Amino acid sequence: MKHRRLRALIRKEFLQILRDPSAIAIAFVMPAFLLFLFGYGVSLDARHVPVAVVVEQPDRDTEAFAAGLAQSPYFEPQRFTDMTAASAALQQRQVEGILWLRQDFSRHLLRGETAPFSIIVNGVDANSARLLEGYLQGVWQNWLQQRARSSGVPFVVPAVSTERIWFNPALRSRNYLVPGLIAVIMTLIGALLTAMVVAREWERGTMEALMATPVTLTEILLGKLLPYFLMGMGGMALTVALALTLFAVPLVGSLWTLSLSSALFLLVALGMGLLISTLARNQFVAGQLAVIVTFLPAFMLSGFIFDIGSMPAPVQLVTHVVAARYFVSILQTVFLAGDLWPVLLVNSAALAFMATIFLGLTWRLSRKRLD
Amino acid sequence: MLARIYALVIKEFLALLKDRATRVVLVGPPIIQLIVFGYAATFDLNHVPYVVYDEDGGGAARQLLAHFEGSPTFRIVGRVSREEQIAPLLDNQSALVALHIGPHFSRDLLLHRPASVQVLIDGRNSNTAALALNHVSAILAAFNLQWMKEHGWRAPPAQPELRAWYNPNLVSRWFIVPGIVALLTLVVTLLVTGLSVAREREMGTLDQLLVTPLRPLEILIGKALPGFLIGGLEAAVITLAVILWFRVPFKGSVAALALGVMLFLLAVIGIGLLISTLAATQQQGLLGVFLFLVPAVILSGFSTPVSNMPEAVQWLTRVNPMRYFLVIVRGVFLEGADMTTLWPQYWPLALLGAASLSAATWRFRKRL
């Protein structure tokens, strides 16, 4: 009996979805489209950065230095002979940085003194500027070694570091941004799918009509949840397929941990949408709330792009209520590092807890309002 | 005509503000988000957790480790005595970096030979990893300079001086926080305008409006003005907070920023109204708002530079008003940019505003 009622409700929901195809667009077209666009668009790997090279007195030594820039794919060097023109170029954003070898550069070298030179960057985008400084210093280090070899004057650096980068040896930013994007996108999709459906029923008065039938509240909520859950999982599968094929993100972990944690996360996202629409009971407000509480927190506070470890302690505390935070952590680990159980278990437990809270609150609030 | 528009604007404001939930949505979240995001949005590393595996234990190793302990960027979370102990710490993210100093470190240095330090790093977040490696190199370089001086080693043949314009300490918050002005203004303005026509259509009150003497253009102006006023007010308040609370230097002129805000608002309102006139239901309207908002934020240069995008995507960002406005806000705040230097940003915004507003008017007329 109960089973039959639930089936009828799910069938009703599916018919409604088919009649207004925007839900299908949300579940399948939107995630794939957004990931396609962002996967290409979001990158922290600079390439071909225009850099001014100011050589005031060109000779063999300065040419060897400048050649290091030309060989690197990071830079697109532009030659200048004096600082005035280079400064103007930096001001007008034609170049992002300046490497300045002064007139006395080679003279210092010949005398065996330390020749000073300048690295100047446009600091407005501090993150890119820092990375650029790092790359330019890399050119300097290479030059030091090359010079020690070619000039026959051995130059010994005391402590030398050998770096081993785990999980993402080429430091390809796409490898961590694409899994993060999946979490951000699925937060949106989950909330959007459900945020307005319950509000719509309240606003149109069809919720009261449903209440008057013998179906129970649990059945109504399950009838809302299940169809959208299935559609959401479909959208999720699409994005994962895109990440693996088009963006060539490695999947080190197993597919079943990925599916299981995705299902858990989807329950949280859908639960949040249901809760919003139960609270708002009006599509306009439900829509506004969905924008504010889903997208921006998932974008800024999930660790998708801004590292949570670098935030001040009170803000780190706030991030704990953002479900995407746990999913970003799970996805980055499963994709790049593998099934590391300590990470997976802690984050999955948090997701399960949040799902329970959201769905439980929705259930309680709907009942209360019925009386 | 002015009296009619005035009446309509009053009605729109009442419709927006009489609903307690909408009132709360328009005032509360922007303030909370400004504070939380302002502190959250940073690429600067601090307290990077690291572990030390020191097989040497000699004076040179201690001296090197003291450099790390003195740095505010790093925070030691433990010392291990066996190599196998490192992996679990990096795996479960208790440490981002592991420093492994080999058994002959001090001896090699005293014998005037290069000594190697192994740096293991969790590369899951490649940006954090790259920045942390930069910091490790800087600390090693400082240690090396000191060691060379104290032990009479030959100095390096060349040494760089680093300088950064506009932001000498490279505080990434100075870059991100002015961007939040653009982010929150965009969200609020889109929310006010994006669903406005669709709501009236779904509730049937649009037909009532149409039988009044109001002309379609007047109805649209009535819908646009509240968004303009609310968006402008929020932009002003957030800008003040960025200057007074977050202490980001404001070097440029208020007029240059105000012109930018106005053009930005017009473009966003035009797009919001266009979405609203295209949507048959509020659900479609919301979907449209999302479909515009999310790419507009992510592909704007707010968090990742536009110059890193492939050509095709960069080309696409030219229809994104946020892209231009971000350059304006950051230029005015940090570089002291004036109206002449910002001209290349102003005219595309004006063009976007004119195009979207006329498209919305045309759509609205046609639908009648």
Query: For B191-206, how does the pLDDT look when each residue is reduced to its tens digit (9 = 90+)?
Result: 888 877 877 887 778 7
Where, residue-wise, is CATH 3.40.1710.10 in chain A? 49-151
Residues B347 and B261 in one domain: yes
The tally of domains found in chain B comes to 2
**Average pLDDT over every residue of B246-267:** 95
**Average pLDDT over every residue of B158-163:** 88
Residues B140 and B220 in one domain: no
Q: Which of B113, B118, B308 sits opposite A46 (nearest CB)?
A: B308
Smallest CA–CA separation between A246 and chain B, in Å?
A: 15
Smallest CA–CA separation between A140 and chain B, in Å?
A: 8
Taking 60 as the threshold, does the pLDDT of residue A210 lie above it?
yes
For residue B159, tell me if it sits in a domain: no
pLDDT band (50, 70, 90) for residue A368: low
- Of the residues B150, B185, B208, the one at which a domain ends: B150
Residues B20 and B71 in one domain: no
Residues B206 and B332 in one domain: yes
Going by C-alpha positions, the residue among B186, B193, B146, B192 that lies closest to residue B33 is: B186
For residue B354, tell me if it sits in a domain: yes
| Residues 58-77 in A contacting B (C-alpha not used; CB under 8 Å) | 65
- The bridge status of strand A115-122 relative to strand A159-166 is unpaired
For residues A257-286, b (16+ Cβ closer than 10 Å) or e, as one string? bbeebbebbbbbbbbbbbbbbbbbbbbbbb
B298/A38 touch (CB, cutoff 8 Å), yes or no? yes
Sheet of strand B74-79, all strands in order from the earlier edge strand to the far edge = A159-166, B115-122, B97-101, B48-54, B74-79
pLDDT band (50, 70, 90) for residue A194: confident
For residue B112, tell me if it sits in a domain: yes
- Show residues of chain B in contact with A115, CB under 8 Å: 157-159
Q: Which residue has the higher pLDDT, A324 or A146?
A: A324
Residue given tokens 């509020």 in the structure block? B282
Going by C-alpha positions, the residue among B34, B356, B329 that lies closest to residue B187 is: B34
Smallest CA–CA separation between A207 and chain B, in Å?
A: 17
Residues B66 and B211 in one domain: no
Residue-level pLDDT at B280: 80
**Average pLDDT over every residue of A5-15:** 84
For residue B91, tell me if it sits in a domain: yes
Residues B82 and B106 in one domain: yes
Residue B252 to residue B323: CA distance in whole angstroms? 19
Q: Do A170 and B157 form a contact (C-beta atoms < 8 A)?
A: no
* Domain A49-151, second-level architecture: 3-Layer(aba) Sandwich (3.40)
The CATH number of whichever domain residue B75 belongs to comes to 3.40.1710.10
B160/A164 touch (CB, cutoff 8 Å), yes or no? no
Sheet of strand B158-165, all strands in order from the earlier edge strand to the far edge = A75-80, A49-55, A97-101, A115-122, B158-165
pLDDT band (50, 70, 90) for residue A370: low
For residue B342, tell me if it sits in a domain: yes
pLDDT band (50, 70, 90) for residue A154: confident
**Average pLDDT over every residue of B25-41:** 86
pLDDT, tens only, B181-194 = 999 999 989 988 88
Q: Which of A287, A293, A319 sits opposite B195 (nearest CB)?
A: A287
- Of the residues B119, B150, B181, the one at which a domain ends: B150
Residues B128 and B214 in one domain: no
Domain with B320 in it = 2-41+171-367
ipTM: 0.87
Residues B189 and B330 in one domain: yes
Taking 70 as the threshold, does the pLDDT of residue A1 lie above it?
no
B305/A315 touch (CB, cutoff 8 Å), yes or no? no
From B49, which residue of chain A is nearest by alpha-carbon distance? A309
Residues B216 and B360 in one domain: yes
Q: Which of A30, A175, A295 sits opposite B126 (nearest CB)?
A: A175
B119/A162 touch (CB, cutoff 8 Å), yes or no? yes
Helix (H) or strand (E) holding A330: helix A323-332
For residue B157, tell me if it sits in a domain: no
A295/B294 touch (CB, cutoff 8 Å), yes or no? yes
Residues B195 and B338 in one domain: yes
Taking 50 as the threshold, does the pLDDT of residue A113 lie above it?
yes
- Show residues of chain B in contact with A337, CB under 8 Å: 91, 124
